[in-house]
Amino acid sequence: MNIDIQCCALAATDAPADHAERRLRFVMTRHSDRIQRIVINLGDIAGSFARSGSYCRIRVDLVDAPPVVSYDTGADIYALIDRSVDQAGRAVLKHLRRTGVLTARNGAGADARTPGAADRGPRVAPASATATLPSSP
């Protein structure tokens, strides 16, 4: 798994690039045998209409498959990297499940046995299901 990080017009520190590489290795290591290359573009948006902030674009080149691209913009570069890496990781996992590379037997975990479980998010009880207890005097 080859990771290429390109920073354009960011502050002179290496901290965002290090954070991006650490997050990508954490999320993508499990599927590294199916990933050829990952390219991350980090930069500042400095355009018209008084728009400012940062962007993160991640391109994951898979073995014998079209690339997965994740793009996001925002003010906080670290939150932006986290969102983009998570989105790219979910897209890679979805593609590998769809093509039949991952099954419940070879490492997809419990989510492979429950279709759509990863996309549903956390379970939250509806507001009407919560009961209020009467207060005692």
Class of domain 2-110: alpha beta
Residue 64 confidence (pLDDT) = 82
Residue 104 confidence (pLDDT) = 53
Check residue 14 and report its DSSP letter.
Answer: S
What residues does 109 pair with on adjacent strands? none
pTM: 0.67
Residue 126 confidence (pLDDT) = 47
Q: Which of 50, 55, 40 is nearest to 9 (CA)?
A: 55
pLDDT digits (tens, 9 = 90+) for 33-69: 888 999 999 888 875 455 568 888 999 998 888 889 9
pLDDT digits (tens, 9 = 90+) for 73-124: 888 888 999 999 999 999 998 888 888 776 655 555 444 444 455 555 445 4
Identity of the residue numbered 119: D
